[in-house]
Chain A
């Protein structure tokens, strides 16, 4: 008979097993939430997210905006008294949501990360102007103007590349990545 893993197990499996403790040791002390610089903008605090995972509230967690508000500052991680790597849990949830194409409406993070990885896989280096289309049209007319002005100013100051840079041994580089995930690169 077909079975499903619990959501808690899925999340636990996505976190690196050699580091830190699984979320089931969480004592709900709230140190993570109290240390989070973005907590006031989240719909659920990090502590609540852990509680919700343990309560198998998969749909609510996946649709929560919280994970996309995490800036990877690692305050929660270094302060957790139970040594749960909470930032890694946020990464794990981001991966889970991106894979499942299920995330809070209006989240820019998934497209941004996908584009970023797409650029790096192709060239081996990051390229800011290539990322701009994933976010610049998402903050209204003023946002478009602000981003255009920012781009122009940076260009004027010589702080933006017009052409993307590429690593020299790009063929080797792509073969390396293809060994990890074989996607569309000839052997």
Chain B
């Protein structure tokens, strides 16, 4: 199994641990992630606030480069995934827009023809690799660890090509395959606040607080995420939430690939555990090499 891998800007910096753990767990599962050559930013949400065609052009450049490889393009970040998927759908439908953007892409020797398939990394793990293989690679079952699967928004909406976007279960299944217990909590597909954490901080903190409360009330030891911004909001801002709401949340928030990695017996340091701003819970300390 080989894919064209689009890490996205966050995975080079704030979500380095997602990048490292994605590559290492993928390799373990026999998945080859070949990084897309010279990719650019997906435009996040901000680009759509300024100009829609420009936003599509950014994604089209990446899609055109991915097409050259003949492989599915895989994004670990939900926002990158959503943007690339939207652009590929839009450009396939709207011939004028495609021609317009292809004229621009010529400046970089590229052309979007619409053959590339956009995938989220989770999707590759659940659908292509499969739960059976994940179970087989689990040498260190995470028995007794209660994990809250956190889907967030843009992996599912507006048009994740999955049947059940209101109450999906694929993350639960992935977590269960590692021997951990996937807990059920009502806010699993609710928003973390996204970039409101910068532009409307009090609103985003309230959303983060609701999520933490909901997961904590159901006894979560750990939240597993599939998106860099979700991870940052839920983890890095716990301290601010605690101060504002007089709470004492100390819930580790890890990428699902780090959870898988632990189950596969990969040392915590190789999964960049310990890069969190909140201290990891006691049960995780065994996996984290103290610096």
Query: Which residues of A are at the interface with B, using a C-beta cutoff of 8 A?
Result: 16, 18-19, 37-38, 41, 68-69, 71-75, 77-78, 85, 87, 91, 94-95, 98, 107-110, 112-114, 116-117, 120, 124-128, 131, 134-135, 139, 143, 146, 150, 153-154, 157-161, 165, 167-169, 172-173, 175-181
Contact = CB atoms under 8 A, between A and B. Distances in A.
A108 B200 contact: yes
Contacts of B10: 126
A98 B191 contact: no
A125 B9 contact: yes
Contacts of A134: 198
Contact of A179 (B48, B103, B109, B190): B103
Contacts of A159: 13-16, 275
B163 interface: no
Contact of B50 (A68, A74, A95, A150): A95
A65 to B, nearest CB: 9
Contacts of A114: 50
A40 to B, nearest CB: 8
A168 B40 CA distance: 9
A161 B12 contact: yes
Interface string B81-105: 0000000001001100000110111
24 contacts: A16-B90, A18-B94, A38-B203, A41-B202, A71-B203, A72-B153, A73-B194, A74-B153, A78-B165, A108-B200, A109-B49, A112-B195, A116-B44, A120-B41, A124-B41, A126-B44, A128-B14, A135-B198, A154-B277, A168-B38, A172-B108, A177-B104, A180-B104, A181-B51
Contacts, number: 182
Interface residues of B, number: 64
B107 interface: yes
A134 B195 CA distance: 12
B204 A71 contact: yes
B153 A19 contact: no
B38 A169 contact: yes
Contacts of B104: 176-177, 179-180
Nearest to B198: A135
A158 B275 contact: yes
Given A16-B90, A72-B45, A161-B12, A98 B101 contact: no
B236 interface: yes
A176 B105 contact: yes
Interface string B181-221: 00000000011011110111111101100000000000000
